[in-house]
Amino acid sequence: MTTLMTGNEAVARGAYEAGVRAAFGYPGTPSTEILENLEGHKDEVYLEWSPNEKVALEAAAGASYAGVRSIVTMKHVGLNVASDPLMTLSYVGCEGGLLVCVADDPGQHSSQNEQDSRHYARFAKIPVLEPADSAQALAFVRYGLELSERYKTPVMLRLTTRVSHSSSLVETGGRATPATALFERNPERFCPLPAWGRQMRKRVEARLEELRSEAERSCANGIEWQDRSLGFIAEGLAWNYVKEVFPSASVLRLGFAWPFPDALIREFASGVKRLVVVEENETILEEHVRSLGIPCSGRDLLSGIGELSVPRLLELEAALLDLPSPARAAPCPEASDLPARPPVLCPGCPHRGLFFALTRHDVIVTGDIGCYSLAVYPPLSRTDTVLCMGGGFSVAQGIDKAGEGRRVVGVVGDSTFFHSGITGLLDVVYNKGRSVLVVLDNRSTAMTGHQENPGTGMTLMGERTVEVDIAEVGRACGMKNVAVVDPYDLEATGRALAEALAREDSSLIVARAPCPLRARSAVGKIKAIDAAACKSCRACLKLGCPAIESSEKGKPPAINPELCAGCGLCAQVCSAGAVREAAL
């Protein structure tokens, strides 16, 4: 059947059709929807949001050892977390096919960096498949799992935001019969202790040679001969842009993106007058082409910063053909005349209470990856650093131990706490830090679309499970001072913070209230400002709630009833008592 699917839907469909028995992952845009699109098949595919990407890959490895096909999904920065097992899994190898589905984010649409996961594949010496559209995404899942079993290696499926979230036609089919799990004991096979690990090391190199031969004949690669005055080598998504902007040029399309097919590259290069490499982000392919002694253009004409696009390829066309820039009108001009709309915490967001309470203290706030990183913006301006998942606590410890005179408050979210914040808390407790550690527990992995986590009491399989109590985890880790507060209660939150900051040792504050977007209901009664009572002091605007609209200075603000979630924070801030329940 022919259907329109996003790349992520196609990956999920491909996994189902290929007989995958288990799928693990940690949510992260742009990869999140892969597991979510397998939810309709949970009778046949075991699904799991793991606490982090390292755990997810290790679990997928276990499923593979037991002989069944598995996939693991994550965004590019998640692969940093999973890189430890990846490096050794390359040595140990697979039994059942194992596909590492990594979604990179060129252009940093929702990411803190723009790293190129192909580096990891080369580092780990595992093959990479890079689809150009949804049809290839589906086909490459099946192909990747076959490769994984044939060569006993994990295989990387490298997606990018544009492939993951764009829709194109795919041909769906039936499900292959999945293997039955049966782990065959063989320590020499599964334990890379030095004596056996050294033998594995040799097999990895031999496997790489075999994979090079596979790349030469792979149906994922191919030459499209046309006008030979200009020839492009393009990987994955880049092929689409090349075809659109240079429809009559010759193209070497690489879907088997690493290791490279050297003979095919030489054949193509010798058949064209001028060679151009088009790839997103890093120059991995271009450097390889040059290492073969083949002159080419690439990064000299096309920057590696940001996402490729038709306008950028039009710039390339102008540079190549020495035309005025741009040679043709870009089809999608940027909407530069729209007003800037900086991202803000949602109306009714429980994080607002905690950050507002923090505005009353001269402390350093080390934040983390989650919706709450938006507190970096005015008017709250209450986040000073953001590094990586789980780093909020450890960075606090570093600043504190460096001898900074001001107190440091480390902030992480609930999912982030389970991901890798726990070890930061252990560091602070064990090494006698004095930071105030805050977990913004909104009962959900909210930023990526409200996925379950170990604190929500539900699994991705839709089953009720243990609801891990963050305060109890803190106590079990040795934290002496633990408080649980309602962040909608400004006085209680402020008091807990002041008490924690008054102590000389470390504290843990769990600011606990569910995300109202997940509950899909207002927190309380919708509010309105009584203009007659309002003193126009603008104190309520300091909350940064998008429902409170600022009118002319000196005039009362107004609350937009369509946006207000009724959290009541503005009523607590208003000393004039001008915020009332709206008469709706």
Query: Got the DSSP string for 501-545?
Result: HHSSS-EEEEEE---HHHHTS-SSS-EEE-TTT-----GGGGG--
Minimum gap (Å) between residue 355 Cβ and ligand SF4: 12
Which one of residues 158, 529, 558, 583 is an interface residue with ligand SF4 (CB under 6 A)? 529
Pairing of the two strands 167-171 and 227-235 = unpaired
* Contact between 578 and 530 (Cβ < 8 Å): yes
CA–CA dist 139, 173 (Å, integer):
11
Q: What is the footprint of ligand SF4 within residues 346-405 (CB under 6 A)?
A: 347-348
Among the listed residues 124, 252, 513, 564, the single contact to ligand SF4 using CB under 6 A:
564
Q: Toward ligand SF4, which CB reaches closer, 294 or 576?
A: 576
Cβ–Cβ < 8 Å for 576, 535: yes
Site size for ligand SF4, by CB under 6 A? Answer: 30
- 550: Cα within 13 Å, side-chain hemisphere: 14
Q: Which is nearer to ligand SF4, 264 or 567 (CB)?
A: 567
The span from the CA of 468 to the CA of 107, in Å, is: 36
Q: Interacting stretch for ligand SF4, rule CB under 6 A, among 146-154, 158-166, 268-276, 560-568?
A: 560-568
Inter-axis angle of helices 194-217 and 262-271, nearest 10: 30
SS (HEC) of 509-520:
EEEECCCHHHHC
Among 320, 344, 576, 582, binds ligand SF4 (CB under 6 A): 576
Cβ proximity to ligand SF4: between 167 and 536 the closer is 536
Nearest residue (CB) to ligand SF4, 304 versus 561:
561
Show contacts with ligand SF4 in window 328-357 (CB under 6 A).
Answer: 347-348
Over the range 276-293, which residues count as b (16 or more CB within 10 Å of their CB) and which as e? bbbbbbbbbbbebbeeee
Query: Which residues within the stretch 530-549 sit at the binding site for ligand SF4 (CB under 6 A)?
Result: 534-540, 543, 545, 547-548
Provide, rounded to whole angstroms, the least separation between the CB of residue 7 and ligand SF4. Answer: 36
Instruction: Please state the closest distance from residue 566 (CB atom) to ligand SF4, in A.
Output: 5
Q: Which stretch binds ligand SF4 (CB under 6 A): 28-36, 194-202, 283-291, 527-535?
A: 527-535
The closest alpha carbon to 479, from 440, 421, 407, belongs to: 421
Min. distance of Cβ 535 from ligand SF4 in angstroms? Answer: 4
For 224, other C-beta atoms within 10 Å of its C-beta total 15
Torsion of CA 478, 481, 482, 488, to 10 degrees: -150
Contact between 582 and ligand SF4 (CB under 6 A)? Answer: no
Parallel, antiparallel or unpaired: strands 98-104 and 249-254: unpaired
Q: Which of residues 464-503 bind ligand SF4 (CB under 6 A)?
A: none
Taking the complex as a whole, the smallest distance from the CB of residue 363 to ligand SF4 amounts, in Å, to 23
Q: Which residues bind ligand SF4 (CB under 6 A)?
A: 347-348, 527, 529, 534-540, 543, 545, 547-548, 556-557, 559, 564-570, 573-574, 576, 578-579
